[in-house]
A = this chain, B = another copy of it.
Amino acid sequence: MATAWEQAYVTLRRRLADGTYPPGSHLPEEELAAQLGVSRTPIREALRRLDAEGWLRVVPNQGAFATEWSIADINEIFDLRALLETYAAEHAASMPDRRGLDMMEEACDRAEAALPGDDLNAIEVISDTNVNFHRALWEMSGRARCRTTLHSLAVPPMMLRNFRNFDAAGLRRSLDQHREMIKAIASGNAAWAGAVMRAHVEAGRAVFVAAVSRSRDGKWAM
């Protein structure tokens, strides 16, 4: 069994991701401690880590606040993902391994099975398998620092929720890009893998930007 603070970290991160704690909201330590059934000590340690990873901001003597994301922030994140995911894909292609490729295949299979359903549950599955796909790729690249950095960039709330903005054709294309990436990596063609990844990230940005411009007041449902 993992330590209490690690469990708290995982739970709080998930809740920040799924919107249980909306951006800007205050997170009182005692309340979190009561919810998770532990004391404030492990909660505080989890909050320190979430702070370091950008999930929330701990202000001295005021506590933790779920981070709010401006459109500029999100564009920056897409920029960084474009750089780092491409880098990871290129290096994964230069050292492909069976186990990682299998994990990526499996993620695609599961996503494909969920694709026909239009409900939120399908979106949930697709979002989930998407994370698994990318994680397997980061792992295969063998770049530890790149992996942890991408983890903190690609998993936060508005990235996961962006899947709700995809239409059926968009999801189909996203999945096709995943399949193409597997081919590129398996063949050891770094340039190919990198190019597909860059297109993949930019397609995600385009979906996001379109969703933002649809909402007239410039605010979006993240």
Q: Kindly state whether residue A83 has any CB partner on chain B within 8 Å.
A: yes
Q: In the complex, which residues of chain B have a beta carbon less than 8 angstroms from the beta carbon of A145?
A: 54, 73, 76-77, 80, 153
Number of identical monomers bound together in the oligomeric complex: 2
Name the interface residues of A1-15: CB closer than 8 Å to any CB of B: 2-3, 5-6
A49 contacts the other chain (CB 8 A): yes
Q: Decide if the interface of chain A is mainly helix, strand, loop or mixed.
A: helix
**In the complex, A213 has a CB within 8 A of chain B:** no
Known: A52-B52, A52-B53. A80 touches B45 (CB 8 A): no
Are B76 and A146 in contact, with the CB atoms below 8 A? Answer: yes
Are the CB atoms of A144 and B80 closer together than 8 Å?
no
How would residues 77 to 90 of chain A score, 1 for a CB under 8 Å from any chain B CB and 0 otherwise?
10110011001000
Q: 19 interchain pairs (CB within 8 A)?
A: A2-B60, A3-B60, A5-B48, A6-B60, A41-B41, A45-B45, A45-B48, A48-B48, A49-B49, A49-B52, A54-B148, A73-B144, A73-B145, A76-B146, A79-B87, A79-B143, A80-B84, A83-B87, A145-B153
Which residues from chain A sit less than 8 Å from chain B, CB to CB? 2-3, 5-6, 41, 44-45, 48-49, 51-54, 60-61, 72-73, 76-77, 79-80, 83-84, 87, 142-146, 148-149, 153
